[in-house]
Amino acid sequence: MSQYAVVDPSTGETIKEYPTITDAELQDAIARAHAAHAQWIETTSVAERAAIVRRIGELHEQHAQRLGEIIVREMGKPISEAVGEVGFCKDIYGFYADNAERLMADEPIELLGGEGSAVVRRSSFGVLLGIMPWNYPYYQVARFAAPNLVIGNTILLKHAPQCPESAAAMEALFHEAGVPAGVYINIYATNEQIKDVIADPRVRGVSLTGSERAGAAVAETAGRHLKKVVLELGGSDPFIVLGSDDLDATVAAALEARLGNAGQACNAGKRFIVVDELYDAFLEKFTAAMTAAEPGDPSSPETTIGPLSSELATTRLADQLKRALAQGARLLTGGEHSGNFFRPTVITDIPEGADARYEEFFGPVAQVYRVGSEEEAVALANDTPYGLGSYVMTNDEQQALRVADRLETGMVFINAVGAEGAELPFGGVKRSGFGRELGRFGADEFVNKKLIRVGG
């Protein structure tokens, strides 16, 4: 079977295979992207590029149902979530279109001494490589491509091997919107070929969203060749419950944080850390809600949890859960799967030193911990190699801000789930990666901030 193929995770059926790019074709793609860069920045203004990016978003909205149906069969996302993902992409393209000229404007510097002036002028890098994951096939591309097209960079896009149809659909939309053929090129490349792309001196930077292992491999190659890298990797985000005026609402938020995209999100709530006085009631209500959540046919508008993305994803999650239980964790509900349909699962009493405390569970498995104090909650939340996002639930505003300051994460959401936005920076620290996407900070990653100093 080809490395790039649409395999329906609901049925295991291989729907279509796509040929991997040849080495000669790949060299041609790099050459075309490199040649297109000069023309792209010389023949278009920021405003003109912004208009094209806006049109990309409009085409996403226009084709939302068709695009959603593609990723239902590629990675099993329920159709309502799939169409919603496409809608979020329109917001991202719209944000960068609306703010392009402001984000690229000259930044004057007040001189401490001497005559004349100084300004920082932002300009494009050149050819960028984007390496995208399967869990949000459109959204991940949007947050990389939208700012960089506005900036004037050109893009080689390697999508996940199980997302070739959505990758092709996006390339077609980009070109329909007016992006020149050499400015955005979809490549079905192998990991070995990608090493050569990163090494190529015509490629100026790399952005990867994916696993910790993939990030380390890409960073190693990029570092050897002195390439700028942005990495958004895994997470084991804490969901900290310190207080609540409405425990049912808090449980509903916890359920949303754990089960969105069948739990296959880097910034999903994965470790639920609850103070002693709320623990028993929270655990009872949360376990009941997880038990009641039923995986179903992702093509149905009524379905809220689809299958895991692949047989490999299911096997990995089942093996992690089995190991956690063997090391002493207690299973409260779930644990079974039929094909790739994995029942929502709750485990607790995870012993200190168990692997589960330090791994990312990429699927609908929730860990619940009891803590005796705010101090203990923060210590447990930070006791992880990851540092992507975090959630703090409390009715004490000062406590919320105090805890937020102490969490070793790139993002903190207080009394909110699903509150990400096109204008908000996304990224982490520790082994969750470095750099930011979205918002103003996402537009500042792959730009040359050139100082222009004029004498008196």
- Which residues have a catalytic role annotated? 232, 266
**Integer Cα distance of 124 and 149 in angstroms:** 9
CB 177 within 8 A of CB 73: no
Q: What DSSP element (H or E) covers 335? A: none
Q: Strands of 113-167 (E only): list them.
A: 117-124, 127-131, 154-158
Residue 183 CB-density burial (10 A; 0-12 exposed, 13-18 middle, 19+ buried): buried
What are the two backbone dihedrals, phi and then psi, of residue 397, each rounded to the nearest 5 degrees?
Answer: -60, -40
Distance of alpha carbon 320 from alpha carbon 342, whole angstroms: 13
Element (H, E) at 31: helix 23-43
- Helices and strands in the chain: count of H runs, count of E runs: 14, 22
Measured CA to CA, the distance from residue 436 to residue 438 in angstroms comes to 7
Burial call 393-428: b when 16+ CB within 10 Å, e when fewer: bbeeeeebeebeeebbbbbbbbbebeebebeebbbb
Element (H, E) at 164: helix 164-177
Query: Hey, what amino acid is at 311?
Result: E
Find, among 231, 183, 179, 46, the residue nearest to 122 by Cα: 46
Helices 46-62 and 164-177, axial angle in degrees (round to 10) = 130
Helix (H) or strand (E) holding 196: helix 191-199
**DSSP code, position 380:** H
Contact, 399 vs 377, CB < 8 A? no
User: Under 8 Å CB-to-CB from 95, ≥6 apart: which residues?
Assistant: 146, 422, 423, 439
Beta strands in 315-378 (DSSP E): 330-333, 337-338, 341-342, 345-348, 365-371
